[in-house]
Structure 1
Amino acid sequence: MRKHVVCGILCFCLIATVVISGCIGVPDAEKKLIVVGIGENNPPYGYPDANETYVGLDVESIEWIAKQNGYDVAYLGLPWTGIVENVANGTVDILYCGLTITPERSEIVDFSDPYMIVNFAIAVLPNSSLTKEDVLSGNVSISTQTDGTSHVWTEKNLNETGILAEGNLRPQATIDDAFVMLAEGKCDAIIYDEVTVNSYVARGLAKNIGVIEVNELYGVAVRKGDNETLQMINKGIADLQASPKWQELLDKYGVVLS
């Protein structure tokens, strides 16, 4: 089954129709189609490769789960701001994108059982002499992904406390944009999901100078009351993590779980 990137989101409903009817072909008559929302560029969970095909830990996870349960899959890359609304309004069927389970999001969507526990990490350039203490004392400029939980944490713990000077929190639309900003010297550090930070470290683009323990739970978001999909996802996650495929995917994408 081929995977295609759907870009240039002007009207989510129209694009979702194009993805289903125009980009992946007519699904197998015996299979149902599940439209999966993922972040626009969120390694290692879901991101476009050199061929503009979505790859990643979560992408391959849902493909495995879908195959086991008789589903075809289509993808829709989504901006992070207000991302859960895309499930609530029917633009996508689920979000499988390294999404933290929070009380606020749980008011809008239902979440699967958690499939990962993740902390934040602090990333700096490979040649930087900054320490974790330097960053948390506020003597730097910091980027992260707009409206992500790391953004919320940084605002609460560094901005609202007065530790970080006004203007020194510089969130970006995607985490890849934040790392571009770091590379260009437009921020000193990034606070974000440790798994993602380590994927940039592995490519020589950053170094991890410390972990912030938040123990966030990642889950798959489904529409409120969609118990059929929720049960399928919960069973699929359990089956995947009980199979050799799970460790294979973790190794493939360089994910080390604590």
Structure 2
Amino acid sequence: MKKIIALFMLVMMVGALVAGCGGNDAKKEDASKKKIVVGLDDNFPPMGFKDENDKIVGFDIDLANEAAKRLGREVEFKPIDWSSKEAELSSGRIDVLWNGLNITEKRKENMLFSEPYMECKQLIFVPKGSPIQGEADLKGKVIGMQSASTAEENFEADKNLQASIKEVKKYPDCIAAMMDMEAGRVDAIITDEIVGRYYMGKSPDKFVALEAPVGPVGDFGIGFRKDDTNLQAEVQKVLDEMKKDGTTAKISTKWFGKDITK
């Protein structure tokens, strides 16, 4: 009887192990097919923003949709507080940051990145007719920028610029900063070239972009959790395919009039 019981227990244990292994395989398979949640600032045209129908659209949105389609996965676009983007990513509330995210050494400490897909320049934008012709002319002026943006990081690293200006105003997004400048509450703003030129194009007679970049010229990339190497590799693979077959160039031409991707 003892031998029968022992044999029965052994069979049960082997069955549990087999079931457990099968469960792990299923989990791995499910992980490769689950929905990708993209965190973004939904007021960052033309990378990601809400159109007149309250639908999130943009260059990065088109890229992410095409990448997810090729991966056979659903994608959800989740607006977040951009100043809390790293916390949103590390907590698992989102899977990627895909919204004109500048690759910096500081950010590399907390996340993985895709290969760069576009250059990121910070430019000074001023009202048309402004006497400001360059960075040196910001002395004694009130300037605006988006909170937790690359412009803010560059500004905080430039002690000479900080000491020279009268006041810096920070905004939840670039559009709010541009609107405040139009209202005369700031003398200039520093922001991403792409969003600044997009907004300026809607009112070409009101604003001027100064061509000299402020701070280093960077690159846009997609941010992933540090341990999410599988998703990073999967997304990078389809991005490479999209670049090779001309899909990326087509999407860029749709939003910028030409292929400005790297």
Length-normalised TM-score, structure 2: 0.79
Is the contact made by 2:155 and 2:162 (CA closer than 8 Å) also made in structure 1?
Answer: no
Q: Look up the match of 1:172.
A: 171
Q: Summarize deviations over 1:97-146 as a string: whole Å, max 9, x none.
A: 111112222222111111112211111123434312554x4242111111
CA distance in 1 between partners of 2:115 and 2:37 (Å):
19
Cα RMSD, aligned residues only = 2.1
Say which structure is richer in helix. Answer: 2
1:195–1:255 CA contact under 8 A, matched in 2: no
Change (3 A) 1:70 1:111: same
Assess if the C-alpha contact under 8 Å between 1:119 and 1:211 holds in 2: no
The aligned counterpart of 2:182 is 183
Gaps of 5+ in 2: 1-31
Matched, 1:83 2:81: no
CA 1:40 to 1:103, structure 2 compared with 1: closer, same or farther past 3 Å? Answer: same
The Cα of 1:250 is off from its aligned counterpart by: 1.6
Q: Which runs of 5 or more structure 1 residues have no equivalent in the other structure?
A: 1-29
Residues 118-177 of structure 1, C-alpha deviations (whole Å, 9 max, x = no match): 211111123434312554x42421111111111121233256651212xx1111111111
Percent identity over paired residues:
26
Q: Secondary structure at the match of 1:59?
A: helix
Report the counterpart of residue 14 of structure 2 in structure 1. Answer: none
Cα distance in 2 for residues equivalent to 1:158 and 1:44: 31
Cα contact 2:175–2:199 (8 A) shared by 1: no
**One-letter identity of the residue aligned with 2:122:** F
Aligned partners of 1:143 and 1:171 also within 8 Å? yes
1:219-234 paired onto structure 2 within 5 Å: 219-234=221-236
Q: CA deviation at 1:208?
A: 0.7
Do the aligned partners of residues 158 and 200 (structure 1) sit closer, same or farther apart at CA in structure 2, a change above 3 Å counting?
farther
The one of 92, 95, 104 equivalent to 1:93 is 95
Deviation at 1:243, TM superposition (A): 2.7
Which one has a bigger Cα radius of gyration? Answer: 2
- How many pairs does the alignment contain? 226
Distance (whole Å) between structure 1 residues aligned to residue 135 and residue 229 of structure 2: 45
Q: 2:237: which partner in 1?
A: 235
- Corresponding residue for 2:23? none
**116, 119, 123: which one pairs with 1:117?**
119
Match of 2:210 in 1: 209
TM-score scaled by structure 1? 0.81
Counterpart-to-counterpart distance in 1, 2:99 and 2:116: 12
Larger deviation, residues 87-96 vs 110-119: 110-119
Q: What is the SS of the residue equivalent to 2:100?
A: strand
Distance across 2 between alignment mates of 1:160 and 1:125: 20
Amino acid in structure 2 at the alignment position of 1:118: C
